[in-house]
Amino acid sequence: MSTMFVVRYTTRPDAADENQGAVEKVFAELAENQPDGLRYATFRLADGVTFVHVAVTEGEDNPLRAVTAFAEFQAGIADRLAGPVDRSEATLVGSYRVMSA
């Protein structure tokens, strides 16, 4: 069974680059460790301060929980935010070369 999560938030303008750097560290660790059961993408929107994360996990465990850089990213996020985080589960309706169903 797979679960898809979409997380959207806005950072303070002076913290957007720092946030992107923290996200890039997560992807570097993922590339190094290549955990199974995870498909994950992060987008920085055109306004420069809004980020959208899309994660698809397979099975009961979320492999992101074992990523040190992700824990560090989460630990500092409150200081970078300009507002609340919107996190919700999502259902894939369609995808073309982005996410598989």
Helix ranges restricted to H, the chain: 16-33, 68-80
Tell me the pLDDT tens digit for each residue of 21-31. Answer: 999 999 999 99
Those residues of the chain that have pLDDT short of 50 are none
Q: Which domain holds residue 76?
A: 2-90
Q: Is residue 100 part of a domain?
A: no
pLDDT in tens, 30-46: 999 999 999 999 999 99
What are the counts of helices (DSSP H) followed by strands (DSSP E) for the chain?
2, 4
Residue at 95 is within a domain = no
> For the chain, how many structural domains are there in total?
1
Model-level pTM greater than 0.85? yes
